[in-house]
Structure 1
């Protein structure tokens, strides 16, 4: 039988890793990394604790990240300010990752395939979205007026939702690629200013 490690040894290792992270990064970098992993709104104090900095410093960097569009703010029930990664920055990050992995030609093909898959789901179930289908089926169950329509299984529902999400990210990536192309083309042909229509 092997002896289990002492829980204190894990605490010591975690502290050592935390100290190294603190020594190798700036407070701004640590605050950005903490908020990057925040899936729900959190306070500056909570960010400061995880980022190994003061609440005042965390708040300063969170406000800068909010000005950059990386973070959004909201107010808690108690009136305190909360911070969360902005959905726009998540979309841009995901789109950039897609563009780094595949060509725009291949991406256009994948977008066409995903659009066709979404259309097939819409035609099969007679609704525009998986959310609408869930609501319709719930209403039928509650009203006990099942129309005999096929009940969608959870795996199919998840596949439809995933395809729609991936299609949205792929469309965003294509939009960014097109915008980058126009920016590149415009810098060669003009001063870069936008002319009124």
Structure 2
């Protein structure tokens, strides 16, 4: 019968992954990776802890990311600078992911379909937004109105999701068209006009 093997020094798989991540990345890469997944404002110290670096180093890299537009800053209650991922960088990342999966033409078609879905929500429920529908559903629940006439609350989430996806698809189409325009402008450069 074989002897049970002694535990590895990295029994905690999370610690092993963290150690490997630290060895294979720079502090700047780790700070960006941490803030990429940070949606609420946090201090440089909190980012430093997660990024396995010092607060001073994290702050330096966060300030660079803020200058690049990847991070936004706000003032905390006690005057500390708080950092979080910028909406623009989230939108750009999501739009670029969509462009890697679909062509501008496919996305344009999908935009039209989602616009039609939103139009149908408005027509069907007689309100302009999912938030207005949620308020109406809340009022209906308080009024104990006819259960057969009630709207499934999942419609609110579906409408919000469609609206969000439409915004990302529109951004992707805009980025795709701008990229094509710039690329076309470079390859089809206009010759200089002779001013004689």
The equivalent of 2:29 in structure 1 is: 29
Note the C-alpha offset of 1:183: 1.1
The equivalent of 1:126 in structure 2 is: 126
The equivalent of 1:195 in structure 2 is: none
1:182 aligns with 2:181: yes
Secondary structure in 1 matching 2:48: helix
The equivalent of 2:63 in structure 1 is: 63
- Structure 2: runs of 5+ lacking an equivalent: 1-6, 192-196
For the 8 Å contact 2:104–2:177, the answer to whether it is kept is no
2-structure distance, mates of 1:78, 1:180: 43
**TM norm structure 2:** 0.84
Note the C-alpha offset of 1:140: 6.2
The equivalent of 2:96 in structure 1 is: 96
2-structure distance, mates of 1:141, 1:15: 49
Note the C-alpha offset of 1:152: 2.6
Name the stretch that deviates more: 172-181 or 52-61: 172-181
Secondary structure in 1 matching 2:42: coil
Note the C-alpha offset of 1:19: 2.1
Q: Deviations over 1:108-132 (max 9, x none)?
A: 1111111111000001111111012
For the 8 Å contact 2:42–2:82, the answer to whether it is kept is yes
Query: Counterparts of 1:70-109 in structure 2 under 5 Å?
Result: 70-109=70-109
Which stretches of structure 1, 4 residues or longer, exceed 3 Å deviation after superposition?
8-11, 136-142, 144-148
Please provide the CA RMSD for this pair.
2.6
Name the stretch that deviates more: 156-165 or 178-187: 178-187
The equivalent of 1:152 in structure 2 is: 151
2-structure distance, mates of 1:186, 1:115: 31
For the 8 Å contact 2:140–2:150, the answer to whether it is kept is no
Secondary structure in 2 matching 1:189: coil
Secondary structure in 1 matching 2:77: coil
The equivalent of 2:194 in structure 1 is: none
- Number of aligned residue pairs: give it: 185
Q: Deviations over 1:37-88 (max 9, x none)?
A: 1121111001001111100000000000011111111122222111111111
